[in-house]
Structures are given as structure tokens and as C-alpha cells.
Structure 1
Amino acid sequence: MVGSTLGTRMGGEINYLTVAEKGVFDEGKIVAAQRKSSVGGGFSPPLKKVVVVGYALTSKKVKSFLQPKFERLARNKGILFVAIDQSKPLSDQGPFDIVLHKLSGKEWRRVLEDYWNEHPEVTILDPPRAIQQVHNRQSMLQDVADLNLSDRYGKVVSKAGLRLPIVAKPLVAKSHELSLAYDEFSLQKLEPPLVLQEFINHGGVLFKVYIVGEAIKVVRRYSLPNVSKYELSKSAGVYHFPRVSCAAASADEADLDPRVAELPPRPLLERLAKGLRRRLGLRLFNLDIIREHGTRDNYYVIDINYFPGYGKMPEYEHIFTDFLLSLVKS
């Protein structure tokens, strides 16, 4: 897919490209009822604690994330999901063990931070201030570059300058839209502020690396096709794409060139995920990674998303419920 907004080359080398900006170039108290059961001569076994997860999500997110199969598994494991009523004080609801959220706006951030100050025993997924970091595409990938990842799998090096074609993305990471510009003059037609990335040929495949706590899951997705030197010499203007990858464009079962389909090295992904969890202060996010076409170990991180579409991640039900239970145990 696209080059790298401070993309990050991983594997043989992890690079980040120079970034140019254009312009500035259900309601009420939840009581977990414990049912008593008698065994044999009336002895009751230890009561199993119910883990209450309050969630504040958009209706679209609820539909994609809280799927029936997931909720059934969660109930069987002793996890209860309860919708947070935004029209009522958060402290009047619960009690919660965990608050899971993905809402925007200063007022919600204030409500959540006030609640956390009053209830430090509750786990917030994830802290609002940490989430803010990945809303800005320039700062989010600077964290990748700052990791200075260097071992036998590669290192972070800077790469100055941007070559055509150029990928332009909104600076604020609330949109999946991107534009591919074949000449400098076309960039002037785009609405700032933007983050510009050099387009990197990558065989039309990107790797989505889902991170849930310490768990890592990688899937392949179709991406933008390679651009040849001939196409570059003959093309002009700007091409707009609503988004690059989607669930329907899974490339996991496709008959791909093994050199294109090979997943990034596991040790590299583990080091990267661990470093970003520490730097970002997040436990729920994913990375979009591409491998430079014609190389075996040059990878670029091109995007980071908070609380992505986990419903598209294989086995997310088991991974996520195990993660929630681990938070309570720890």
C-alpha cells in the first residue's frame, strides 16, 4: 500500500519517511447477582465473580463488535457487557470492573477522566489521553520511529525526501480516505491539513496486525497495486480511494506469490507491539504494515488505529474474553 507517513520499515530495516504537511503542510446500578446452588448435602461451591464490562460505543461499533457468538462466550466465561447510558452520570452506573469505549468529543473525555479519578480501581480501555496520540497521523508514527528498533531483524533509519507518486491522508485519523497524486501540482487540489507519504510498491498486499493486550494476530488484506515506472511517466492527476482494505478484501485464502504472502517475522512483531504498548499507553490497537516489493525484509508501518474492527479478526471472541479476564486477575 502506501509509502510511509513516518512509515516504518521493519524486518531487514524499519524506516520512517519524512512527513510533509500541507497547509501547516442497561442503566442504573448493576448488581451482579450470584446464584446459590447446593451440591450433595447442601454445601455451596465458591461463587464465581461476574466481570462487569461497561461499554460506550457507537451503534455501528456495537453491531460489529458485540456479535451474538462473542456475547454468548463471554457470558459462559462470567463476563457481562452493560451499555453505559450517556444521559446519566457515569458514577451512578455500575459498578464496573472495566470500561470499554470508543467515543469522541471533549465532553466524553472529561466524563471518563473524572470517573477514573473517582474510581481508580476500574480499568479503562483505553485512557483518553493515550487515544488522542493516535488521532494525529504525524505524531502516531513518530512513536514507531522513536522506538529505534534494532536487532537481527532490522533497525529504524530515517529517509529524507518524498518521491512521486505521493499518498495524501487527512492529518486527523478519523477517516480512511486517501488520495494518490502522480504530480506535485495535483496536491494543491487537496484540502489541508494533510500528511504526505511516499508510495511504496508492496505487491498489492498489506498486513493488519491486531493487538489485544499481549496477544497478536496478523491477517492479509488486499491493497493498492504496484505502480510501474511506465505508469508513473504516463499518469497525472489525483486518484481518490474511500479506503484501502476491507473485510471483503481478505487475501488470506488467495493464491499469492509466496514472496508477497509471507507474514512479517513474529519476533519483530512482538518487539514492535511491546514497544508501542509502552510508548502509546494503549492495549487495543492495530498496525497496517507493508513489505517493500522486491525485498524480503523491508517493512513499513503506515498506520495505527485504536480499537479497530476486531470482529474481522479470526478467533477474536476467545482472544478478547481471555484478555478481559486477565485484566481482572492482574
Structure 2
Amino acid sequence: MIRIKGIFFVAIDQSKPLSDQGPFDVVMHKLLGKEWRQIIEDYRQTHPEVTVLDPPDAIQHLRNRQFMLQAVADLNLSDSYGKVGVPRQLVIKKDASSIPDAVTKSGLILPLVAKPLIADGSAKSHELSLAFDQKSLQKLEPPLVLQEFVNHGGVLFKVYIVGETIKVVRRFSLPDDVCKRELSKNAGVYHVPRVSCAAASADDANLDPRVAELPPRPLLEKLAKELRHRLGLRLFNLDIIREHGSRDRFYVIDINYFPV
């Protein structure tokens, strides 16, 4: 189908200089490492006529969860279609024994979602845990980000953004009743199976309409436009949840580059 439209994908040979290959109209990449970043930056300087998806420095911004959501927090997006924010969070770079005091001083409320600080696309960067009490906080492994858990009916929305095109799908997430059940047991750390992946699709599930209703399109369009500008990216996705019991209160909990 793509070839019928005159689009051809050509694999880049990493053993050869990029400037010796092509000519390309668009370069799409998701490789890591300083060497590759420099190659792409040099190529952008010498081939300004080629669209590079996306600038390495802009992509790098999403590799660290300490800064990932800052663009959303700075927006304070609120209009007639709803309000979009981010969960309160705390960054812990070392010394797990200091986490309980840091959480107390920050005013964060348990349970807390623990995420690896570095989001490099690896399986480990998707590992999540829930901490239910002060004692369990010391069992976590820094560097990490702690986010307040927001009840959201066990469903999240993956918002894929490709240029000005937006596609939204539903994914099963951590159900609220897990938090209630584990809290009642005074459980420590609950390790969460990977959520929001394609295998967890909730698009065909029989869901409560109040939970399944997609975020308003105008709100998503405004959010996507602002983030394209602020992040300098054209190929990324947002993980968004709706606060349970609310129709118009949304939180962005993760941003991923070039999701597959």
C-alpha cells in the first residue's frame, strides 16, 4: 500500500557514512548512543533539505522522567473541554533509605507508582512498582521517579501523534481495586506487569462508558499542538488517564518517542 503511494523505505547501512547513502526525503531513526546522535546532527547540518524524525536533542529530553512531563506541567491546560495536568512526583537519584523522609517532606500521598528514571525503550525502563507504605519505600531501587497514583478505572488512553495526525486507543492499566486490596493487606511493594502495551488493548472490551469515553478531540488537538511545539517532536505518544469519577480531569503519566 505504501509503495502504491510512491513511498519507499530504505534501511540505513550503519557501516557506511550516512551522507554517502540516499538520497533521502525523510530519515526516521530510533537508535541510541552519542556516536549516532552526532552522525544525525552532522547530517542535519549538511542536508537541510532532508526531514529528520526527530532531532536527537529533542528525543533525548524524553529519556529522563525527571524532565519528561515538565512541558505538560508548564502548560496548565484547561478549557471548556477539560483540564490536563500531571501527577505530583518526586525524583530519587540514590540512597533508598532516604526515600521515606523525602516522601514525607514532599507531601506525596501513598500509594506511589515507582518508575525507572531513565526511559530508554528497554524492558527494564517499563518496569513499574507500587509502594503502599513507608517501610516498603526503602525496598525500591533508585534512580527512580515516584508518582502519586491517580484512580482511573483501570483504563488509560494512548494518544499517538504523527505530525498533525492523532490516533487514540484504549489500553488496560492497573485496576483501582488492586490498590484498595493491597492497601488493606498493608502490602509492601507490588510489582506491576507491563501495562499499556498492544496486548492489553481495551478497545473491544465491555467497559463502563464513563471509563471508556475517549478524551475530547479538541482537547487532544490543542495538547498535541502545544507539545509538538514545546518538545520539538513530530512522532511520539502520550499515556493519558482520566481521574475516576470525573469526565474532564486528565493526567499525562508518560511520554514515549516513536512508539512501536
TM-score, normalised with respect to structure 1: 0.69
Q: Which runs of 5+ in 1 are unaligned?
A: 1-72, 310-330
- 1:155, distance to aligned residue in structure 2 (A): 4.3
2:104 is equivalent to residue 153 of structure 1:
no
- 1:75 & 1:161 partners in 2: Cα distance? 55
Unaligned residue ranges in structure 2 (runs of 5+): 89-105
Counterpart mapping for 1:59-138 below 5 A: 73-138=1-66
Shift, 1:245, TM fit: 2.0
> 1:5 maps to what in 2?
none
For the 8 Å contact 2:158–2:196, the answer to whether it is kept is no
Give the partner amino acid of 2:130: L
Pair 1:157–1:290, CA change in 2 (3 A): closer
Q: Which residue matches 2:159?
A: 209
Q: Is the 8 A contact 1:220 1:252 kept in 2?
A: yes
Q: Which letter does structure 2 place at the counterpart of 1:81?
A: F
Please give the per-residue CA displacement for 1:205-242, whole angstroms capped at 9, x wherever unaligned.
Answer: 10000111001111000010104656423232111124
The whole-number CA distance in structure 2 between the counterparts of 1:220 and 1:155 is 19
The 1:300/1:169 distance shift into structure 2, 3 A limit, reads: same
Match of 1:195, SS state, is strand
Q: Is the 8 A contact 2:237 2:259 kept in 1?
A: yes
Give the aligned partner of residue 118 of structure 2: 172
Q: Which letter does structure 2 place at the counterpart of 1:172?
A: I
- Given that residues 83 and 248 in structure 2 are in contact (C-alpha distance below 8 angstroms), is that contact kept between their aligned partners in structure 1? no
Q: 1:256 to 1:196 in 2, by over 3 A?
A: same
Query: How far does residue 244 in structure 1 lie from its aligned partner after superposition?
Result: 1.1
| Contact 1:176/1:242 (<8 A) preserved | no
TM superposition outliers: structure 1 runs of 4+ over 2 Å: 153-161, 227-231
Larger Rg computed on CA atoms: 1
CA distance in 2 between partners of 1:115 and 1:229 (Å): 52
User: Counterpart in 1 of 2:226?
Assistant: 275
Which residue of the partner structure matches residue 215 of structure 2?
264
How far apart, CA to CA, are the structure 2 residues paired with 1:95 and 1:169?
41
Aligned to 2:186: 235
Aligned to 1:190: 140
**Matched residue of 2:108: which SS?**
coil
Q: How many residues align?
A: 237
Residue of structure 2 equivalent to 1:68? none
Question: Which TM-score applies when normalising by structure 2?
Answer: 0.87
Residue 157 of structure 1: how far off its partner (Å): 6.6
Task: Tell me how far apart the structure 2 counterparts of residues 156 and 286 of structure 1 sit (CA, whole Å).
Answer: 15
SS at match of 1:260: helix
- Aligned partner of 1:304 in structure 2 is 255
**Alpha-carbon distance in 1 for matches of 2:174, 2:240:** 13
The answer to whether the aligner puts 1:162 opposite 2:90 as a matched pair is no
Do residues 285 (structure 1) and 236 (structure 2) align? yes
Identity %: 79
**1:143 corresponds to which letter in structure 2?**
A
